Amino acid sequence: MLDFFKYQPRMPGLRFFPMASYATDLSMDRLVLGVDNIRCDVRLSPSFRNATAKLAALLIERETGIWTIPEKKRQSALAREQENYRQQYGQVMTDAINKARAAKEMQVDFLAQIAVLRMVHEEIREQYDVLIGHCKSTIRRSDMANNNDPKESLKLKDNLAHVLQSRETVQQKVGLELCEYFREIRETEIREMREAVFGQDLPFLFDLLANPIIHRDNPFNDYFMIEEYDLCLGRRVEDPDRYEMMVSLMRSIFAFLEMEDTAAISWSLDRRRREIMAAEVETKDSDKQFQMERIDGWVRCPENIDLLLNRKLAKEQYRELKREKAERKTLRDFRIRMKHQRLLMGYFFRQFSRTGLLERITASYEMQSLYRDYCPPLVPQQILQYLIAPKSRKMVRNRLKRLKKLYDKSFRLWPLNRKVVQMERMGKRQKKAYLVRFLRAFCRYHRDFYCFKIYRDAAERINLVTDKKILALSKANHTLYEFLLPHEQEMGEKPIMNHTIIKADLRGSTDITHQMNDRGLNPASYFSLNFFDPITEILSEYDAHKVFIEGDAIILSIFERVETPSGWYSVARACGMAINMLMIINRYNKKSQEYQLPVLELGIGICHRADAPTFLFDGDNRIMISPAINLADRLSGCSKSVRRIIRKNISPFNLFVFQGVSDQEIKKTADDLLLRYNVNGIELNEAGFRKLAQEIDLKQFKGDIPDLKLEKVSLFTGKFPTKSGRYQRLVLREADVPAVNPEDLSQIRFTHRKYYEVCTSPKLYKATQHLIRS
């Protein structure tokens, strides 16, 4: 009966709110340990490290106002170093991504990013020590000078005191500015490359660059927390708002609200008992760990506080929905959510009032407008104690009286006393606003501190090697990770790992030659100017090389070499090269039609082999031997019988493959017996498609495209970098090979075989991009 009278309704729980969660997948457990068997050995570009030191020194001098270079050269020197630094960072990160791709291990890229951050912190601290040494040596020279000016000497000593006092603040500002350069480069130049290779980038590493805590030696400094996080947490054992106590309280509140959702505790119990039982409910260790990770992920998201408690924001959003004439169900759900917010606000308010936290939170915000008038000599925590603890006021008054002469000013206490009165008269609405503000700020700090701890642990596992002996030992044992600038890479051509062949075959070249000869025209110059010469001009863009040229065909190769991951896009670049070859043909065909010259048609085959070709030499001429050449020749072909049947192709596709013989006949031979329609089409072999899927992040679309009158198509799309760094999009079609009657191509059935076309239709590219985005 007693329990009945103590009953309080359940809280709405969390199921009514789309809670966000913050987690990170950063791990370096698959990396090879260095020579000390504890840390990973990393060598960063010496030029990049020197650039970091130069720029950090200039930024420190700018922030402290103590320059070591003439005034005229300051701005130009700073601008020059900033531009140079951005460029070098982009090159080092590009090298890191390429090496991660070579190792097929994203953790190599993580290692490079953490290593660069650690190096930045080391260089900032080292350059700050250099500036302190410069100030001290200047003071010594001034003191030893015969014509020493006492005022000048005093000014120099004040400068040194200022530099020492502002060390952490300046290091933080400089570190954040350097990291801002990194964020800019990641967003503009590096992001596309990472997404092309690995898919989505890790948000944690991007967020880390804007995290102020990683640049501080003491993340609990009162001034730092107030200025950066709008917080003033206690640090004494008895303080209820200590960081550890706050984390524990937030976890327990969220755990209780989640437990309210599951109805795992009897409704007949009063709420306080339910809270205690929620904390004591028995679970397996693994389940408890999983639950704690999930709850902590919620606590690390400041936006969850607005979602749960910020009714003012919710009302604004509701009014906006009404203006936009949202559906009734949406408006009803929003009203229910606001009702739940009111209940949760009341619950949080009672919880923080009961523990004495609300008074401290209110005082921490009320003091922010005046604490700098008293600090120093006091510290913010003493001002806070003055506002909430009457017993501490006498001690504060006595301390200010004692320090009055030292600071040569009087400290008026009436502003503090007025704040005490204001706090006593403060209504619930303002206190609730302060509570929401505090919780949002605390969640942000908790997230950043969590990220800082992960970064610190990762940085401690890195050995930034500069010693020549350690470098040599680590290299010899293949345990050294190097992230260098292009000119620092070791020279020498690496062995070929695999290769891709492109065969482009001109259709009807014999007929074109005959027609042009009859008209007294030169077919050789026509083929040269309209086909061979323009293609030669784009070879370097795709790192392609000529293998063989005959009158009506060209064979090209793209190699992938050991330890040169920037070139490990042989299939993607072959596809891009083939697309450009067709674009060249189309461009010249338009010109030829104006002058009534024959138009050219191509068939292109691309074949990838996962091994190196062999070579023989005829004098100084190197001749390649590879099965890929023969297969590319088959893929580039067009069956005359099929061409006669398909006279007009209105499809956006230019390649169709058919099986005109039985499965038994195909099994008897290694030859390619399939029939092809390949007119201005590009066919890629199956091994090449699998390799392409490893080279870049391919996104698939299956379905209909009504605008192009296409049904049940299977398309893949992705982007790759050319050798110059320009990104090009590819669209490929995967289709089943139908078994047909070779006489009329009437379909009998679909076989298990598939073929792959590299598409060239502009309309198809536009439609595919729209489909992938949506």
Give me the CATH number covering residue 580.
3.30.70.1230
Give the pLDDT of residue 272. 54
Give the pLDDT of residue 539. 93
Task: Give φ, ψ of 161 to 5 degrees.
Answer: -60, -40
- In this structure, the answer to whether residues 765 and 621 fall within a common structural domain is yes
Give the pLDDT of residue 261. 59
Q: Count Cβ atoms below 10 Å from residue 332 Cβ, excluding itself.
A: 10
pLDDT at 274 over 70: no
> Do residues 208 and 455 lie in contact, with contact meaning Cβ atoms separated by under 8 Å?
yes
As a whole-number percent, the residues of the chain with pLDDT over 90 amount to 42
pLDDT at 70 over 60: yes
**CA–CA separation, 195 vs 772, rounded Å?**
15
Give the pLDDT of residue 533. 86
Last residue of a domain, one of 454, 480, 513: 454
* Cα diameter, the chain: 114
Give whole-number Cα distances, 213 to 207, 221, 456, in Å. Answer: 12, 10, 11
pLDDT at 143 over 90: no
| Residue 774: Cβ-neighbour burial (10 angstroms; 0-12, 13-18, 19+) | exposed
Query: Which residues lie below 8 Å from residue 8, measured CB to CB, with a gap of 6+?
Result: 270, 271
Residue 249 lies in a domain: no
Last residue of a domain, one of 210, 243, 276: 210
Burial 307-327 (b: 16+ CB within 10 A, else e): bbbbbeebeeebeeeeeeeee
Q: Before 377, cis peptide (omega within 30)? A: yes
- In this structure, the answer to whether residues 700 and 631 fall within a common structural domain is yes
Give whole-number Cα distances, 739 to 158, 605, 666, 762, in Å. Answer: 90, 21, 12, 30
> Do residues 606 and 502 lie in contact, with contact meaning Cβ atoms separated by under 8 Å?
yes
**CA–CA separation, 509 vs 516, rounded Å?**
11
Task: Give φ, ψ of 43 to 5 degrees.
Answer: -115, 115
Half-sphere CA count of 95, side-chain side, radius 13 A:
22
- In this structure, the answer to whether residues 420 and 510 fall within a common structural domain is no
Helices (H), 145-234: 150-165, 167-185, 191-198, 203-208, 222-229
Q: What is the mean pLDDT of residues 709-713?
A: 88
Task: Give φ, ψ of 731 to 5 degrees.
Answer: -130, 125
Which comes out higher in pLDDT, residue 196 or 49?
49
Number of domains in the chain: 3
Residues paired with residue 609 on neighbouring β-strands, in sequence order:
499
- In this structure, the answer to whether residues 161 and 279 fall within a common structural domain is no
Confidence of residue 4 (pLDDT cuts 50, 70, 90): very low
Tokens describing residue 483:
């992230």
- In this structure, the answer to whether residues 264 and 374 fall within a common structural domain is yes
Residues paired with residue 747 on neighbouring β-strands, in sequence order:
740
**CA–CA separation, 696 vs 688, rounded Å?**
12
Residues 196-216: pLDDT tens digits?
888 777 788 888 999 999 999
> Do residues 693 and 196 lie in contact, with contact meaning Cβ atoms separated by under 8 Å?
no
pLDDT at 6 over 50: no
As a whole-number percent, the residues of the chain with pLDDT over 70 amount to 93
- In this structure, the answer to whether residues 195 and 310 fall within a common structural domain is no
pLDDT at 445 over 90: yes
Confidence of residue 307 (pLDDT cuts 50, 70, 90): confident
Residue 196 lies in a domain: yes
Question: What's the start-to-end Cα distance of the chain, in Å?
Answer: 59
Residue 648 lies in a domain: yes
Angle 708-729-755 from CA coordinates, rounded to 5°: 65
Query: Which residues lie below 8 Å from residue 633, measured CB to CB, with a gap of 6+?
Result: 503, 505, 605
Q: Count Cβ atoms below 10 Å from residue 456 Cβ, excluding itself.
A: 12
- In this structure, the answer to whether residues 273 and 176 fall within a common structural domain is no
Which residue type is seen at 125? Answer: R
Give the pLDDT of residue 493. 62
Residues 93-120: pLDDT tens digits?
999 999 998 888 999 999 999 999 999 9
- In this structure, the answer to whether residues 379 and 267 fall within a common structural domain is yes
Give the pLDDT of residue 619. 62
Confidence of residue 469 (pLDDT cuts 50, 70, 90): confident
**CA–CA separation, 445 vs 561, rounded Å?**
47
Task: Give φ, ψ of 393 to 5 degrees.
Answer: -70, -40
pLDDT at 481 over 90: yes
**CA–CA separation, 635 vs 576, rounded Å?**
17
Q: Which long-range contacts (CB under 8 A, 24 or more apart) does 721-725 make?
A: 721/193, 721/196, 721/569, 722/541, 722/542, 722/573, 722/576, 723/540, 723/541, 723/542, 723/543, 723/567, 723/573, 724/541
Give the pLDDT of residue 691. 96
Residue 152 lies in a domain: yes
Which comes out higher in pLDDT, residue 32 or 24?
32
Residue 24 lies in a domain: no
**CA–CA separation, 113 vs 106, rounded Å?**
11
- In this structure, the answer to whether residues 122 and 170 fall within a common structural domain is yes
What is the span of the domain harbouring residue 398? 257-454
**CA–CA separation, 45 vs 483, rounded Å?**
6
**CA–CA separation, 515 vs 690, rounded Å?**
43
- In this structure, the answer to whether residues 67 and 185 fall within a common structural domain is yes
pLDDT at 486 over 50: yes
Last residue of a domain, one of 195, 210, 225: 210
Burial 429-442 (b: 16+ CB within 10 A, else e): eebbebbbbbbbbb
Q: What is the mean pLDDT of residues 215-235?
A: 91
Give the pLDDT of residue 269. 46
- In this structure, the answer to whether residues 59 and 202 fall within a common structural domain is yes
- Bridging pattern class, strands 681-684 and 747-758: antiparallel
Q: Before 302, cis peptide (omega within 30)? A: no
**CA–CA separation, 584 vs 578, rounded Å?**
10
pLDDT mean across residues, the chain: 86
Q: What is the mean pLDDT of residues 637-650?
A: 88
pLDDT at 434 over 70: yes
Burial 246-265 (b: 16+ CB within 10 A, else e): bbebbbbbbbbbbbbeeeeb
Residue 88 lies in a domain: yes
Confidence of residue 278 (pLDDT cuts 50, 70, 90): low
> Do residues 204 and 26 lie in contact, with contact meaning Cβ atoms separated by under 8 Å?
yes
pLDDT at 265 over 90: no
Which comes out higher in pLDDT, residue 264 or 513?
513
pLDDT at 523 over 70: yes
> Do residues 558 and 608 lie in contact, with contact meaning Cβ atoms separated by under 8 Å?
no
Residue 326 lies in a domain: yes
Residues paired with residue 555 on neighbouring β-strands, in sequence order:
503, 548
Residues 325-356: pLDDT tens digits?
878 888 888 888 888 888 888 889 988 988 88
Give the pLDDT of residue 7. 45
Confidence of residue 144 (pLDDT cuts 50, 70, 90): confident
Residue 12 lies in a domain: no
What DSSP designation does 215 have?
G
- In this structure, the answer to whether residues 547 and 681 fall within a common structural domain is yes
pLDDT at 166 over 80: yes
pLDDT at 75 over 60: yes
